[in-house]
Structure 1
């Protein structure tokens, strides 16, 4: 088990790595899709929407309700992918062996 000095050094390194990873989140782009590709929303892992694509076939007043539903579904798909990309990046940023509070063997 690491001593407190080792844990403090690991914590400082983890803080630096996490700050760097946070900065990278806006560079990771994911695409949410709905309606078999009729509506696509591109977003960053930080949640910033960078683009929306709507198939021309949905551009009619009769399709307004379906279009609204598809936009919401595509956004939720993109948000889920962005959240997963962010979680994966944060996980990679944590140093191996860093004690996580609540885990067995953790001094916290």
Structure 2
């Protein structure tokens, strides 16, 4: 039973580290851009949009659709960066071992 006790201790330690990583990701901020930086979206490491910045020259009524597309592109850029960051941190935490379903961030 000593092995089972050791495994349970390791699992509890990993759970504690994962909770810390979740907090760390929530505090991180990533910026996605589109249109050569004309649209910027700031997002937390957990994917929550915090800010949207739009260059004044895009604020023209006849360019509304372009602006909408750029906001979507910047949001997707930021989301992609957060997912990559979370995957890197998870890999560091688990030593590259695959995690079972339900253990993701």
TM-score, normalization by structure 2: 0.82
- Alignment deviations for residues 28-63 of structure 1 (CA, whole Å, 9 cap, x no partner): 111101011110101011111111111111100111
Q: Which residue in the other structure is 2:69 paired with?
A: 69
Q: 1:99 to 1:73 in 2, by over 3 A?
A: closer
Report the alpha carbon displacement of residue 100 of structure 1 after superposing the two structures with TM.
Answer: 5.2
For residues 89 and 96 of structure 2, the distance between their equivalents in structure 1, rounded to whole angstroms, comes to 17
SS state at 2:36 partner:
helix
Q: 1:48 to 1:5 in 2, by over 3 A?
A: same
- Structure 2 gap ranges (5+): 101-105
Aligned pair count reads: 98
Q: Which residue in the other structure is 1:104 paired with?
A: none
C-alpha contact 2:91 2:97 (8 A) present in aligned 1: no
Q: 1:46 to 1:72 in 2, by over 3 A?
A: same
For residues 97 and 59 of structure 1, the distance between their equivalents in structure 2, rounded to whole angstroms, comes to 46
C-alpha contact 1:33 1:73 (8 A) present in aligned 2: yes
The structure number with the bigger radius of gyration is 1
Report the alpha carbon displacement of residue 5 of structure 1 after superposing the two structures with TM.
Answer: 3.1
Q: Which residue in the other structure is 2:103 paired with?
A: none
After alignment, is 5-14 or 16-25 more displaced? 5-14
The structure, 1 or 2, with the larger RCO (C-alpha pairs under 8 Å, 6+ apart) is: 1
Matched, 1:9 2:30: no
Q: Which runs of 4+ in 1 moved over 6 A?
A: none
- CA RMSD of superposed structures (Å): 1.9
TM-score, normalization by structure 1: 0.80
